[in-house]
Amino acid sequence: MISSTKRTTPLSTTQFEPTWSIALSIGLLIVLFSHLGFMPLDTGDEARRALVSLEMILSGDYITPTLNGDRYFNKPPLYNWIIIGSYKLFGNYSSFALRFPMVVSLLLLGLTVFGFVRRYTNATVAFAAALMTLTNGRVLLFDSLLGLIEITFSWVTYTAMLLVFHFGQQRRYWLLYLTTYALTAIGFLLKGLPPLAFQGLTLVGWFVYTRQYRQLLHPAHVVGILLFVLITGCYYWLYFSQNAIPLRDVAGVLFNESAKRTGLAFGIGAALLHILTFPFELVYHFAPYLLLVVLLFRRNSLNLLQAHPFIAFNTLAFCLNVLIYWTSPQVYARYLIGLMPLLFTVLAYLYYEHSRPADRPRWWVERIWLGLTVIVAIGCWTSVFYPATRVLPGVVWKTAVVSGLLIVLAWRLAQPSANRLGLLIAVMIVIRLGFNWFVLPGRAVKRQFYKESAEQAARQTIGRPLFGYHTTVGNDNATDVSSFHISAVRGDILRKTDRKLPGAYYIADSVSLKGEQYRRIGEVVLFDRHPAFIVQFD
């Protein structure tokens, strides 16, 4: 077994100063929470998570997820339960309540990364890896704004992977298998089958790499699998005890949700193209930190990674698990969030422990960071002239603040420093501040329009049964936004139907109403730009 080693002799003694660390942490908390509920509900998966959770509350059935009243099999319900808890905590169905579990999970992910990495390397590498996880472009400008499963799922799966190393180093195999399979069960109840693949690849990969083959046959492994079956089985026992449907229907949907994005569904051509473009997409989505991958392309990089057991584990776990997405043509970048702390840990370790500011690859990366910072510092002044942003309250002083902070950071980046990565983290936090001030208001206006249209339709129909007629609602992710707002105001599930009931109102579009005799009661614009009518059939 490879013994635990703290670290090899570093090339630098760079540290985050306490004042700087506190400033970065406070700044990050401000930009994450200040606009968390600013935008109304987004279309797509966020609306689906919100609607399924709301329908559980309205129906009083917390075992059977539904979508517009129809059974919903695509995801197990654990994240819906978490959202329901947040709704009840805040006493409303607001966007803030919907997204609160996500941002808490994000911070817990950062703390977990810091805890593990600090234990096996040092505080500087740990703080950098944690903040790289929280402030990369994908997370900071997209996923930290939406109430999706992926952040919570990432925290659970990352913790499970790191516990394989942690308890493996201590030879505490009962704890290793029981904790990781319990977390795998939680991951399964969040998202379905993917955590099983992560668990299998991580366990087999690490024990084969360290030549501990016999530990795969440890009695605790069997007990861990049984614990997984017990946790997931309890839910499905409850589910099937009150829903008389075949197991294959639920299992088929879960399998299809995982398989539909792979090369099996898209063909060999699409799979090969994705394999070629995936590394570039990864660098793009998780910029600017992944530019540091150049530190891996050195003659002795493999020896450096293998010399430190914890870094070797992070490298191996990332390389094995990323293959799931590297070979799947339809992959969203948010699916990779749980794997990125592994790679960020490796890059932070190489940056602080095995590179110097004068090293050519690092020198070029840091100059690119400087150039991008200058471009954004100057470019943000377009908000004063751009029609959509020049009308925003305080646009001039807000632009001056963002630009001024970026100019100061650019000046610091241009000075000799062994910790330009720490300065870049500050740059990303300032960019998110500008994003909150200049980008989100425009998005909020559009979403507010659809929210108000849906709520007006809901108030107009209160006291009468209301249905979505034919395929007008529930036919795609977009209409989930309107369904949520209507159901929230009415306190009643907006169900789909083809039946015409006496005295009932219906939301129907022109396609569904073709050839029908009806009386128009009102109008509603469904998300996204989908005109429909409130009607009563003759």
Q: What pTM was estimated for this model as a whole?
A: 0.93
Tens of pLDDT, residues 59-96 = 999 999 999 999 888 889 999 999 999 999 999 999 99
CB 187 within 8 A of CB 160: yes
3-class state of residue 506 by DSSP: strand
* pLDDT at residue 331 in the model: 81
Phi, psi of 338 (to 5 degrees): -70, -20
Ordered by start, the domain boundaries in the chain are 73-353, 362-443, 449-537
In whole angstroms, give the CA distance from residue 74 to residue 53. Answer: 14
Task: Spell out the per-residue pLDDT of the chain, length 538, in tens.
Answer: 444 444 444 455 567 888 889 999 999 999 999 999 999 998 889 999 999 999 999 999 999 999 999 988 888 999 999 999 999 999 999 999 999 999 999 999 999 999 999 999 999 999 999 999 999 999 999 999 999 999 999 999 999 999 999 999 999 999 999 999 999 999 999 999 899 999 999 999 999 999 999 999 999 999 999 999 999 999 999 998 888 777 776 666 666 665 555 655 566 777 788 889 989 999 999 999 999 999 999 888 899 999 999 999 999 999 999 999 998 877 889 999 999 999 999 999 999 999 999 999 999 999 999 999 999 999 999 999 999 999 999 999 999 999 999 999 999 999 999 999 999 999 999 999 999 999 999 999 989 999 999 999 999 999 999 999 988 888 777 889 999 999 999 999 999 999 998 889 999 998 888 888 999 999 999 888 889 999 999 7
* pLDDT at residue 256 in the model: 66
Task: Tell me whether strands 466-469 and 495-497 are parallel, antiparallel or unpaired.
Answer: parallel
* pLDDT at residue 353 in the model: 94
* pLDDT at residue 4 in the model: 42
Phi, psi of 238 (to 5 degrees): -65, -40
Q: What residue has token string 């793009």? A: 284
- DSSP output for 9-57: PPS------HHHHHHHHHHHHHHHHTTTTTS---STHHHHHHHHHHHHH
Tens of pLDDT, residues 117-161 = 999 999 999 999 999 999 999 999 999 999 999 999 999 999 999
Residues 6+ away with beta carbon under 8 Å from 429: 24, 27, 28, 31, 135, 140
Burial category of 347 from C-beta neighbours within 10 Å (exposed 0-12, middle 13-18, buried 19 and up): buried
Q: What residue has token string 């191996």? A: 316
DSSP alpha helices (H): ranges in 308-439? 309-326, 340-353, 360-379, 395-414, 420-434
Task: Give the number of other Cβ atoms within 10 Å of residue 515's Cβ.
Answer: 4
In whole angstroms, give the CA distance from residue 328 to residue 136. Answer: 23
* pLDDT at residue 34 in the model: 95
Task: Tell me whether strands 505-508 and 466-469 are parallel, antiparallel or unpaired.
Answer: parallel
* pLDDT at residue 184 in the model: 98
SS (H, E, C) 98-164: HHHHHHHHHHHHHHHHHHHHHHHCCHHHHHHHHHHHHHCHHHHHCHHHCCCCHHHHHHHHHHHHHHH
Q: What residue has token string 């063909």? A: 267
